[in-house]
Structure 1
C-alpha cells in the first residue's frame, strides 16, 4: 500500500503533464515572435515602407519555412510514438533520415530564391518602393531556411522525448542576440555600419545558424537524447522513410496552402497601398505574439496523443484530446484580452509609421482579438489532433475551402470593391477561420482511434 501511494504521488496530474510540455513550447514561440516584433520595431523607425518591406518579405520566406517545417512535425509525431513504445532504434533512424532530407531540400530552397531575389518581390505583387527596400532583407532571410528547418526537426524531437525546455533555452539565447545584432546593424552602433532593413536580415541569418548549433549539441552532445544512426538495410530505410513522408508530404501540402493563402492576403493589402500593408504587418506580428501563447497545446497534443497511440491506449489518447481542446479555450480568452490591450502601445511603438497606419492597425487588432478562441481551436485541432490521427486530408480540406473557397474571394470583394477597404480584408480572414473551424470539427468527429492504434 505505501508503494502505491508513492507511485500516485509521483505521477503528474494531466494538467501538470500538459503544462510541462505546453508552457515551455509556448514560451519558446512567444520569444520567436517577439524576435520578429523587435525587428519590426527596429525597422519601424525607418518608416511605413520599411515595415511593409520586412512584412512582405517575411510572408514569402514564411511559405518556405512553414511548408518545409512539416518534416519537423512529422518527425515529432513519429518520435513520440517510438518513445512511447520504447523503440530507441526506430527513433534514432527516423531523426537521422529527417536530418539528411532537411540538408538536401533546405540547401536547394535556400539557394534558388537567393539568385532570384532581385526580381522576385516585384514579380509577386510588391510595390516598387517595397521591393527596393526589402530585396536585401529577403535575400538574407531566405538563406536562413536550412537552419530553420533543422531547428524545427531538433526542437520537435527534444519535446517528444521529454525535453521541452531545451528548445526554449536555445530560443531565449538567440532572441536576445538577434535583438542586439538587429538594432546595431540597422541603425549603426559604434564602428558597425548602418545597413537599414538589411541589418535585420543579417541578424536573422546569424542567429538562425547559432540556434541550430545549440540544438545539435543538446540533441547529440554528451548529455543528448538521440544518436546518429543510419538504417542498415533497405527494409529499415523503407520502414523509416515511408512513414516520414506519408505524414510529411500531406502536412507540407496543407502548410503550403495555408502560407500561400496568408501571402495572397498581403497581396490584397498591397493593392490598398503601402500604409495598409504596413498596418496588416503590425496586426499580424502582434497577433502572432499572443496566439502562440497557446501554441504549446498543439505540441502537447502531438506528443501526448502520440505516446498514447504508441502504447496502444485508445482511451488515453481520446482523453488527452478532450483535455487539450478545453485548455485551449481558457488560454485563448486570456491572450485575446491581452492582444486587444496591445492597441494602447501602438503610438509608443510605431510613432514613425503615421497616424493612418496606427488607426488601421488598431481596428485590425480589436477585430481579431474577438475571434482569438476560434483561431486557437483551429490550431489545436487542425495542427495537433488531425495530424496525430493521420487525417491530414481533413486539414487540407479546411485550409483550401477556408482560404481559397471563401476567405480570399471575400477579401477581394470587400477590400477592393466596397468602401470597407482594409476592414473588409480583415473581416474576410475572420470568416475564413470560422469556415475552417467547421471543417476541422467535422473531421475530428470522424476519427477512428481504434483503427489508428492498430495501424501504429
Structure 2
C-alpha cells in the first residue's frame, strides 16, 4: 500500500554542536513534564469547579475517574510500547519499520479502544454501585462516568501519538496540543457546571461533557501533527504477513505485560478508594483531593520517565550499551533532585486547602492535609519508582519485573495493610495513607533488585538479530 506522507527523519544539522546530556534530557523531559502539569492542572481546576457542589460531588467525580483511569492507563500501555519501538527504530534509522509500527498500533488501539469505551457505557447505571460507591456517590456520578468512559478511545490514541512524537524528536508538539485543550476544557467545564449565559447548568455531568469534547479535539490535533504534511511518520500498512509479524509481535510482547502491570497498579489505586469509601464520603473526597494535588507536583518529574524510554531506546537501537547505561544513571540522579524540590512544594500546598476547597468542609480539608504531608515526605521514593519501573525496566524488556513490583507491593503489602490499619485500628484514614507509603517502599526494593539484574549486552544482541521490516 503506498504511503500517504513521506517526511524524512530529522536529525541535527552537521554544523550544530552536540548537545550536552543535561540539555538533551531537558529537551525531552521539560516539555513532557509541562504537558502533564497542564493536564493535572486541568483536573485540579475541574475538581475545584465541581467542589463548589459539595463533598459528595468531589467524591463522585474522583470515584468515577478512578474507574476510567483503569481503562485509560491500562490501554495506555500501547503508548509506552510504541514509544520504545519508535525510539529504537529512530535511533537505528529504520524508517520503514517506524511507519509500519505506528500505523499498526493506531489500527489495533482504535479497535480495542472502541470496544472498551462502549461496553461500560451500557452498564454505567449499576457499575458504580456494584464496585463499592455509596448510593449518593453513584447517583451523582453516573452521568459523569458515562461521558468520561467514552473519552477512553481518544485518550488512548492521544497517548500513542504523543509517544511517537516524543520518540521521533518532537517533544514539544504534545505539549502544544495539551495547552490548547486545557484552556478549552476549563472554560467548557465551568460554563456547563455552573450554567453560564444561555448554557444549561448540568452540574457534575457538565465536567464530563468538557472532558469528552476536549479529548476528541486533542487526539485530532495530535493526529495532524504526527501524520500530516509536516508529520514525523507516514501512514504505511505492512505489505506482507512477514512484515505484519515483524511489527505486531514486538508491539504485543511489550504492550501486553505493560498492560498487565498498569492494570495491577490502577486496580490497586481504585481499591484504595473503595477502602476510603468504607470510611464515608468525606474520607473519599479527601483522598481525591490528595491524589489530584499530588499529581500536579509529581508530574514535574514525569518527563524524566519519557526521557528514559526515548534516550535509552535510541541507544539500544544503535547498539551502544555504554550510552544506554550512562543515560540510566543520569536520569535517575535527575529524578532525585526534581522529586526533592517538588516534594517540598507539595507539602506547602496544605496552605491552600482552605482557599481552594472551602465548600468541602473542615473535616475533609483536615484529612486531605494529613494525606498531603504523609505523601510529600516520600515523594523521592515515588519518583524513583516511576523512572525505574516505567522507564528503565520496560526499556530493557524487563516487564516481568514491573509486573512483580506493582502486583506484590499493592496486593500483598499495601492493600492488606490499608484494610488492617484503616478499618480495624484507630488510625482510620491516616492508616490508609501510611499503607500507600509502605507500598511504595516495597516497590522500591523490588524495582532496584530487578534493575541490577539487567543485562544490556543480551538486549542489544537480541535487537541486532531482528531483521528490519522491508
Q: Structure 1 residues 8 and 321, CA, compared in 2 at 3 Å: closer, same or farther?
A: farther
Match of 1:150 among 149, 157, 182: 157
Q: Does 1:288 align with 2:295?
A: yes
Match of 2:318 in 1: 311
- Once the two structures are superposed, residues 153-203 of structure 1 have per-residue CA deviations (whole angstroms, 9 ceiling, x without a partner) of 000000000000000000000000000000000000000000000000000
Moved over 2 A (4+): 6-9
- Once the two structures are superposed, residues 393-415 of structure 1 have per-residue CA deviations (whole angstroms, 9 ceiling, x without a partner) of 00110111100000000000000
Match of 2:246 in 1: 239
Match of 2:392 in 1: 385
- Once the two structures are superposed, residues 6-41 of structure 1 have per-residue CA deviations (whole angstroms, 9 ceiling, x without a partner) of 979711000000000000000001111111111100
In the alignment of these two chains, the number of paired residues is 451
Match of 1:34 among 28, 36, 41: 41
Q: Distance in 2 between matches of 1:132 and 1:429?
A: 28
Task: Give the Å deviation of 1:238.
Answer: 0.1
Q: Does 1:259 align with 2:259?
A: no
Q: Distance in 2 between matches of 1:230 and 1:221?
A: 16
Q: Distance in 2 between matches of 1:405 and 1:318?
A: 31
Q: Distance in 2 between matches of 1:272 and 1:409?
A: 16
Q: Distance in 2 between matches of 1:229 and 1:54?
A: 40
Q: Distance in 1 between matches of 2:258 and 2:16?
A: 39
Match of 2:8 in 1: none
Q: Distance in 2 between matches of 1:84 and 1:402?
A: 35
- Once the two structures are superposed, residues 22-61 of structure 1 have per-residue CA deviations (whole angstroms, 9 ceiling, x without a partner) of 0000000111111111110000000000000000000000
Match of 1:279 among 261, 274, 286: 286
Match of 1:397 among 384, 399, 404: 404
- Once the two structures are superposed, residues 315-348 of structure 1 have per-residue CA deviations (whole angstroms, 9 ceiling, x without a partner) of 0000000000000000000100110111011000
Within a 5 Å distance, the mapping from 1:358-377 to structure 2 comes to 358-377=365-384
- Structure 2 residues without counterparts, runs of 5 or longer: 1-12, 464-470
- Structure 1 residues without counterparts, runs of 5 or longer: 1-5
Q: Distance in 1 between matches of 2:110 and 2:394?
A: 24
Task: Give the Å deviation of 1:222.
Answer: 1.2
Within a 5 Å distance, the mapping from 1:95-134 to structure 2 comes to 95-134=102-141
SS at match of 1:263: helix
Q: Does 1:141 align with 2:142?
A: no
Within a 5 Å distance, the mapping from 1:134-283 to structure 2 comes to 134-283=141-290
Q: Distance in 1 between matches of 2:316 and 2:380?
A: 28
Match of 1:51 among 58, 62, 76: 58
Match of 2:20 among 13, 35, 59: 13
Q: Distance in 2 between matches of 1:10 and 1:136?
A: 55
SS at match of 2:123: helix
Q: TM-score of the superposition, structure 1-length normalised?
A: 0.98
Match of 2:304 in 1: 297
Report which of the two has the higher share of helix. 1
Q: TM-score of the superposition, structure 2-length normalised?
A: 0.95
Task: Give the Å deviation of 1:288.
Answer: 0.6
Match of 1:406 in 2: 413
Match of 1:321 in 2: 328
Q: Distance in 1 between matches of 2:254 and 2:408?
A: 21
Match of 2:100 in 1: 93
Q: Distance in 1 between matches of 2:15 and 2:332?
A: 25
SS at match of 1:137: helix
Match of 2:435 in 1: 428
Match of 1:66 in 2: 73
How well do the aligned residues superpose, as a CA RMSD in angstroms?
0.9
Within a 5 Å distance, the mapping from 1:337-348 to structure 2 comes to 337-348=344-355
Q: Does 1:440 align with 2:447?
A: yes
SS at match of 2:299: helix
Q: Structure 1 residues 244 and 133, CA, compared in 2 at 3 Å: closer, same or farther?
A: same
Q: Distance in 1 between matches of 2:116 and 2:175?
A: 26
Task: Give the Å deviation of 1:221.
Answer: 1.0
